[in-house]
Structure 1
Amino acid sequence: MKIIVTGGGTGGHIYPALALAKKVMEQHPDGEVLYIGSDKGLEADIVPRAGFKFEAIEISGFKRSLSLENMKTIIRFLKGVSASKKLIRDFGADAVIGTGGYVCGPVVYAAAKLGVPTMIHEQNVIPGLTNKFLSRYADRIAVSFSSSAQYFSTDKVVLTGNPRASEVAKADPQQGRASLDLRTNRKMVLVVGGSRGARAINEAFLEAVPVLANQKDLHFVYVTGEVHYENVVAKLKKGGEIPSNVSIYPFIYNMPEVLAATDLIINRAGASFLAEITSLGIPSILVPSPYVTNNHQEKNARWLEDNGAATVLLEKDLTANTLVESIEQIIQDPIKWRAMGEAAKSLGEPLSVEKLYGELKELIGH
């Protein structure tokens, strides 16, 4: 089996693609997987670290207004299609799977034009622009939420869940704690703003650190995002030594193991992330990004909140005080903390990668 996977820009597109790639290699040790992405996206770093062959094409996303840059994007798309056709032919792909992000546009489109079986995977309730475009050409459309089906041709849609959930569900919490050098039994609170970080979460958490430093029964693992790391560390050190119950990282590469060791998480509300925490049953404080298309992160977050699995703090309401209050209301109430975890677990779909792999096998007749 020779499979091309593509998708990028953020971890929410990359990790589901890698979960499927790992499943393919697990089932076909003599098979091959090629990942096509952009050298400007996170995939250029994450994919080679995961041990997969990586090829880059040049592509950019459309602006939401008429501009000269959009004309350049069209030219890059056409060049990307040409480059993708060559990569697909040379590799001899049995199928091409796209998981979102503008980089998968020319790759999946090129495969469809070459007659290679294609599938796209949509992580969010409301599909992104690239997948809406590709839905006209893909042979199969896998979705994480049943309510996404209304946006696509129903005869192509299959409900699989998010494949990242399966990978995270098997993670070892002891490995997670060991990788962070956590040698106590204190509850761990993971603070992260997504694969690129979130300024609003960083600022609120920074302001809250003096108060949280007094909560010696908790350990805070604070993932700033690469772009914010040096600035955050400098600001913390201005106030003196970094508290002993706070660990700071620019990025975490073994996120499944770290998530498995987490007792409470503060994060954005991307769909892949929600698949991860529900597969493990982690209570959460969600701060949906207000800068995404169709406000889909708030819709994702409200789904968990309505089911008793999360507390939602809109960015406009996020302060050090509201953050500390939300943490204390959950972590200092064992009954509420346990109930939120059980609610999150009930929403999880641990067999999602098996379902997606099954659709892939059926697509190519294996």
Structure 2
Amino acid sequence: MIIAGGGTGGHIFPAIAIANALRKINPNIELLFIGALGKMEMEKVPQAGYQIKGIDIAGFNRSSILKNISLPYKIMKSFFQVKEIFKDFSPNAVIGVGGYSTYPVLRYAQKKGIPTFIHESNSFAGKSNILLGKNANKIFVASDGMEKFFPAKKIIITGNPVRKIISESTVNRSESLRFFGLEENKRTILVTGGSLGSRTINEVIIHHLTDLQALNVQLIWQTGANNSERYILAGKAFPRNVWVGQFIQDIDKAFAAADVVVARAGAMSIAEMCVAGKPTVFVPFPYAAEDHQTANAMRLVNKDAAIMIKDEEARTTLFGAVTDLLMDDKKRQLFSENISALAITNANERIAEEILKTIAK
């Protein structure tokens, strides 16, 4: 089987979770990932123990029309590259998880009559997935209401696959805090704006580092890739109470160490917080399609399972909301119980089983 997609952790980690579930059911399955050259999947997939082939593909750049001059050439080239990969690998099925490389791979597979499957993690489907969904065999989604994007008879609600390191975590708070070089007797905030990072959240944190020290509070700060050098340099000035890095490989330890989490409200972030059972302050990315991150966060807020701060209000209200929650043991306990009740831990297994059942027919 081929698994195609990537670009962000929100696409890559579910793809790896699905691959792990497929291999658990049938250890003899041959799996090949296809991703976009230069994107983070080219690093993260091999780290997970899988082979990946890169193709020259990019998305439409809305901020600079000039940067799209080479796009038609890249799209044509990607189809030729996909054709060569299929010649060598001959997949029985192809799974798309979103990201630039999904479209040429699944489109070619559909043209060849190879069964295709889509995992759509968001509540608002991307245009490529909508086009591909017309000819896909099955479409796996996180929540109901997706009939407005896909043929209803093809939709299966599975939830979103969560990284094995989170869903099967056994680490405790004490050992996790030691791992990050932090103290057991201090309250701890985990900040994660995703694999690329959140400028809004990071700017709030960088301006309150001295306040954290004054409050005797600790911070685990995943800056993400964008402008990471600046944030890492600032964080390292506070070695006694701040761990800072571009990416946290041992995310299970970060969750175990944290008393409160600050995060964007993408579909995968929501799924992971539910499984981790962590009291969270969500700051939805305001430019997500149809403002779906706000809708994601509000589902939890309405169930007394999280706090939401609007992006435009974060500069003045985020730090206060986070520290207030950090000091309120009863509220944190309530949020932890309520968000845990929404967790789906077996989405990857349900997807893998459905794929194998469909192609066996």
Q: TM-score range by the shorter chain?
A: over 0.9
Mapped partners of 2:283, 2:5: distance in 1: 24
Mapped partners of 1:113, 1:327: distance in 2: 50
Match of 2:357 in 1: 362
- Whether 2:341 is the aligned partner of 1:342: answer no
- Whether 2:247 is the aligned partner of 1:248: answer no
Mapped partners of 1:116, 1:365: distance in 2: 13
Mapped partners of 2:253, 2:170: distance in 1: 5
**TM-score between the two structures when normalised by the length of structure 1:** 0.91
Label 1:246 to 1:125 Cα distance change in 2 as closer, same or farther (>3 A): same
Residue pair 1:168, 1:260 contacting (<8 A) in 2 also = no
Mapped partners of 2:125, 2:310: distance in 1: 22
Q: Note the 1:93-242 alignment, pairs <5 A.
A: 93-164=91-162, 168-174=166-172, 176-177=176-177, 179-182=179-182, 184-216=184-216, 218-235=217-234, 241-242=237-238
Q: Please report how far the alpha carbon of residue 333 of structure 1 lies from its aligned counterpart in structure 2 after TM superposition.
A: 1.3
Residue pair 1:4, 1:33 contacting (<8 A) in 2 also = yes
SS of residue matched to 2:348:
helix
Q: Please report how far the alpha carbon of residue 317 of structure 1 lies from its aligned counterpart in structure 2 after TM superposition.
A: 0.3
Q: Please report how far the alpha carbon of residue 196 of structure 1 lies from its aligned counterpart in structure 2 after TM superposition.
A: 0.7
Residue pair 1:173, 1:259 contacting (<8 A) in 2 also = no
Residue pair 1:166, 1:350 contacting (<8 A) in 2 also = no
Query: RMSD between aligned alpha carbons?
Result: 2.2
Label 1:251 to 1:80 Cα distance change in 2 as closer, same or farther (>3 A): same
Residue pair 2:110, 2:135 contacting (<8 A) in 1 also = yes
SS of residue matched to 2:52:
strand
SS of residue matched to 1:120:
strand
Q: Please report how far the alpha carbon of residue 24 of structure 1 lies from its aligned counterpart in structure 2 after TM superposition.
A: 1.7
Q: Note the 1:213-362 alignment, pairs <5 A.
A: 213-216=213-216, 218-235=217-234, 241-242=237-238, 244-319=240-315, 321-362=316-357
Mapped partners of 2:134, 2:64: distance in 1: 24
Q: Note the 1:67-106 alignment, pairs <5 A.
A: 72-106=70-104
Letter in 1 for 2:309: L
Unpaired stretches in structure 1, ≥5 consecutive residues: none
Letter in 2 for 1:291: Y
- Residue 26 of structure 1, aligned match among 24, 27, 33: 24
Residue pair 2:22, 2:349 contacting (<8 A) in 1 also = no
Residue pair 2:181, 2:243 contacting (<8 A) in 1 also = no
Unpaired stretches in structure 2, ≥5 consecutive residues: none
Q: Please report how far the alpha carbon of residue 69 of structure 1 lies from its aligned counterpart in structure 2 after TM superposition.
A: 5.7
Q: Note the 1:36-75 alignment, pairs <5 A.
A: 36-63=34-61, 72-75=70-73
1:222-278 Cα deviation digits (max 9, x unpaired): 1112332221233456xxx41511111111122244224432110111111110110
Comparing 57-66 and 3-12, the one that deviates more: 57-66
Label 1:254 to 1:65 Cα distance change in 2 as closer, same or farther (>3 A): closer
